[in-house]
Chains A and B, each alone.
Chain A
């Protein structure tokens, strides 16, 4: 009786230690649900959902903290795909959040750009090039149309234009 108890308790403790150790030592951050949610998002990092990028939003959805209708660039299509993945009801897109969409790119009006370099660091995908005192330009092929640079331009010289114009 005593031997049995000791053996079983020992086993339980040992396995417990193994579990705790593997949890601590093996690489964390493998979060398949978040990964799959993120892969459905457009990943243009516009932050219009209210989170600081697509991954934080994906994490919030996975944790059940955020609704699935907060991605303006993804549109109804993304809501539908997320609903399918998560087995939830599709809800209408929250249109109050913003208007970012991937059919547009930013363009800097070179006549008005003063080379202040404020838009460059805020671009989440490094699509704006230029150093201080020179005119900046947008790499259209890299621009996601996230609108983040618009608010940082002191002379309001950034516009959104149709992607292929």
Chain B
């Protein structure tokens, strides 16, 4: 396995304190079984799944509880054994915010009884059936984007390279780091399975330089596999190089157009956790039942990485890590840069939940007094998407939608670099996030109005034409009938004939 350092520097970005020491000091805690499971029917980007169990049913570990009906979907499985209590709407965290969605609530029985291995567990050869198996195995992108993996692997553009993302650049999150240390062989195996499905000529594993143990483990596993298409790229420790677009550009020099996905220019990025989940599905027939979650922050007794069953209530997970400690300011889902605060700890860990920060008061900035923009331009230097945040701020605050378009609001990845570097403490990312909603609404409205105008014009033209034609016809008829006796007779005969025809036609019908 070739190890190399890409010779490009990432655009923008920041060096941030990692805050990962506490959680990586422990091995992954395994064997945790919660008392309750809350399984959301929609944990991925795409249409929701359809439940196939009813309240009162006993379910076993690994049993499908909600089936994927659509192409862009992924099944949901019971992550341990128990009884279905109810199916109801609950608040569930998703990629950008908490939303209300239908959930299957299961009371677990602590036996963790698995489904007996069924027949047909062999991995199929046909690519279509492989993708279906991945969809039914509930596998989605575990890096946080929760994009259905089958959809991504079924991309039509020929793949130039498969990129396995182990960069994990955001502070506090360390689930990928510990997974690479402990399960390097599984990850490499999963990566090779993906490479075969995509028929990609090469497979690059990208890891940040501050994870020497993970790099070592992956290198060893890669050498053991003896595969020549594998490469390992060590990436400078700069946030947010782990972003899909940023990583592709860093590794290949090709900028992903803002209107495209990386897969559309031939690069498929997959998180290391996803590769490992695929390995388990293919080699052991086990669907996605659990994921590694980093429990971090000074507000929890034992910060560590936990192999957490999907659907575990966050409160129970924190309890498993020794409970709350000291004065807790807030719970953050995700890292400290792109994560968001949760309203309570009753919500479940979903497939995309990579990190819970139990933030102590001392860890959270308390001074939010915003000052004037002094136009220092630091935000523009830090922006990894090459935007000009100060100009965007001006446009967003004056609702100037044309300017927002011109300065590329929709290309903002909400990484938060501009917030951190702003000397005036302006909450830029928050402004942009809100502006995106307003902007999308404005554009929808604008498009609708323009279409409406078009329809109205066509309607008017047609009405005018109809009126004209109707008048011409009447005029002609009247003229003929009034001036020509023979034409008058003809018109009367024609009318009588039409009436007769209609009558006989009606008689036939009866």
User: Is the beta-carbon distance between A45 and B456 smaller than 8 angstroms?
Assistant: yes
User: Is the beta-carbon distance between A44 and B452 smaller than 8 angstroms?
Assistant: yes
* Interface hit among A90-98, A109-117, A121-129: A121-129
CA distance A109 to B44 in the complex (A): 37
Q: How far is the CB of A135 from chain B (nearest CB, A)?
A: 21
CA distance A144 to B405 in the complex (A): 26
A43 within 8 A of B: yes
Residues of A contacting B459 in the complex (Cβ-Cβ under 8 angstroms): 123-126
Residues of A contacting B450 in the complex (Cβ-Cβ under 8 angstroms): 43
Which of B445, B452, B463 has a CB less than 8 Å from the CB of A125? B452
Which of A43, A102, A121 has a CB less than 8 Å from the CB of B456? A43
Which of B449, B455, B463 has a CB less than 8 Å from the CB of A42? B449
For A53, give the chain B residue with the smallest CB separation. B456
A79 within 8 A of B: no
Residues of B contacting A42 in the complex (Cβ-Cβ under 8 angstroms): 445, 449
For A44, give the chain B residue with the smallest CB separation. B452
A142 within 8 A of B: yes
Q: Binary interface profile of B, 433-472, with partner A (CB < 8 Å = 1, else 0)?
A: 0000000000001001111110110110001000000000
CA distance A162 to B98 in the complex (A): 24
Residues of B contacting A38 in the complex (Cβ-Cβ under 8 angstroms): 453
Q: Binary interface profile of A, 5-49, with partner B (CB < 8 Å = 1, else 0)?
A: 000000000000000000000000000000000100011110000
CA distance A102 to B451 in the complex (A): 14
| Given A43-B456, A142-B455, A121 and B449 contact (CB-CB distance below 8 Å) | no
User: Is the beta-carbon distance between B449 and A43 smaller than 8 angstroms?
Assistant: yes
* A: interface residue count bin: 10 to 19
Q: Binary interface profile of B, 262-289, with partner A (CB < 8 Å = 1, else 0)?
A: 0000000000000000000000000000
User: Is the beta-carbon distance between A43 and B452 smaller than 8 angstroms?
Assistant: yes
Which of A44, A123, A126 has a CB less than 8 Å from the CB of B458? A126
Interface SS of A by simple majority: loop
Interface SS of B by simple majority: helix
User: Is the beta-carbon distance between A124 and B456 smaller than 8 angstroms?
Assistant: yes
CA distance A42 to B453 in the complex (A): 9
For A40, give the chain B residue with the smallest CB separation. B449
For B450, give the chain A residue with the smallest CB separation. A43
Residues of B contacting A53 in the complex (Cβ-Cβ under 8 angstroms): 456
Residues of B contacting A44 in the complex (Cβ-Cβ under 8 angstroms): 449, 452
Q: How far is the CB of B443 from chain A (nearest CB, A)?
A: 14
For B451, give the chain A residue with the smallest CB separation. A142
CA distance A11 to B453 in the complex (A): 45
CA distance A125 to B459 in the complex (A): 6
* B: interface residue count bin: 10 to 19
User: Is the beta-carbon distance between A125 and B455 smaller than 8 angstroms?
Assistant: yes
A158 within 8 A of B: no
User: Is the beta-carbon distance between B452 and A121 smaller than 8 angstroms?
Assistant: no
Interface residues of A in 113-153 (CB under 8 A from B): 121, 123-127, 142, 144
Q: How far is the CB of A145 from chain B (nearest CB, A)?
A: 11
A54 within 8 A of B: yes
Residues of B contacting A45 in the complex (Cβ-Cβ under 8 angstroms): 452, 456
For A143, give the chain B residue with the smallest CB separation. B452
Q: Binary interface profile of A, 41-75, with partner B (CB < 8 Å = 1, else 0)?
A: 01111000000011000000000000000000000
For B446, give the chain A residue with the smallest CB separation. A39
User: Is the beta-carbon distance between B455 and A126 smaller than 8 angstroms?
Assistant: yes
For A38, give the chain B residue with the smallest CB separation. B453
CA distance A95 to B448 in the complex (A): 24
Q: How far is the CB of A47 from chain B (nearest CB, A)?
A: 11
Q: How far is the CB of B442 from chain A (nearest CB, A)?
A: 11
Residues of A contacting B455 in the complex (Cβ-Cβ under 8 angstroms): 124-127, 142
CA distance A123 to B445 in the complex (A): 20
Q: Binary interface profile of A, 70-85, with partner B (CB < 8 Å = 1, else 0)?
A: 0000000000000000
CA distance A88 to B455 in the complex (A): 31
Q: How far is the CB of A14 from chain B (nearest CB, A)?
A: 40
For B449, give the chain A residue with the smallest CB separation. A43
Residues of A contacting B453 in the complex (Cβ-Cβ under 8 angstroms): 38, 43, 54
Residue among B445, B451, B452, B463 with max Cβ neighbours from chain A (10 Å): B452
Q: How far is the CB of A140 from chain B (nearest CB, A)?
A: 12
Residues of B contacting A126 in the complex (Cβ-Cβ under 8 angstroms): 455, 458-459
Q: How far is the CB of B315 from chain A (nearest CB, A)?
A: 34
CA distance A102 to B458 in the complex (A): 21
For A141, give the chain B residue with the smallest CB separation. B448
For B466, give the chain A residue with the smallest CB separation. A121
Q: How far is the CB of A78 from chain B (nearest CB, A)?
A: 11
Residues of A contacting B463 in the complex (Cβ-Cβ under 8 angstroms): 121
CA distance A38 to B449 in the complex (A): 10
For A121, give the chain B residue with the smallest CB separation. B463
CA distance A123 to B453 in the complex (A): 13
For A41, give the chain B residue with the smallest CB separation. B449
Residues of A contacting B451 in the complex (Cβ-Cβ under 8 angstroms): 142
CA distance A54 to B454 in the complex (A): 12
Residue among A43, A124, A127, A142 with max Cβ neighbours from chain B (10 Å): A43
For B463, give the chain A residue with the smallest CB separation. A121
User: Is the beta-carbon distance between B449 and A125 smaller than 8 angstroms?
Assistant: no
Q: How far is the CB of B100 from chain A (nearest CB, A)?
A: 15
CA distance A66 to B449 in the complex (A): 22
Residue among A123, A125, A127 with max Cβ neighbours from chain B (10 Å): A125
For A127, give the chain B residue with the smallest CB separation. B455
Q: How far is the CB of B393 from chain A (nearest CB, A)?
A: 21
Complex A-B: 27 CB contacts under 8 Å: A38-B453, A42-B445, A42-B449, A43-B450, A43-B452, A43-B453, A43-B456, A44-B449, A44-B452, A45-B452, A45-B456, A53-B456, A102-B445, A102-B448, A121-B463, A123-B459, A125-B452, A125-B455, A125-B456, A125-B459, A126-B455, A126-B458, A126-B459, A127-B455, A142-B451, A142-B452, A142-B455
Q: Known pairs A44-B449, A45-B452, A126-B455. 16 more at Cβ < 8 A?
A: A38-B453, A42-B445, A42-B449, A43-B453, A43-B456, A45-B456, A53-B456, A54-B453, A102-B445, A102-B448, A121-B463, A124-B459, A125-B452, A126-B459, A142-B451, A144-B452
In the complex, the 5 A-B pairs of residues with the closest C-beta atoms, listed nearest first: A125-B455, A43-B449, A43-B453, A45-B456, A124-B456
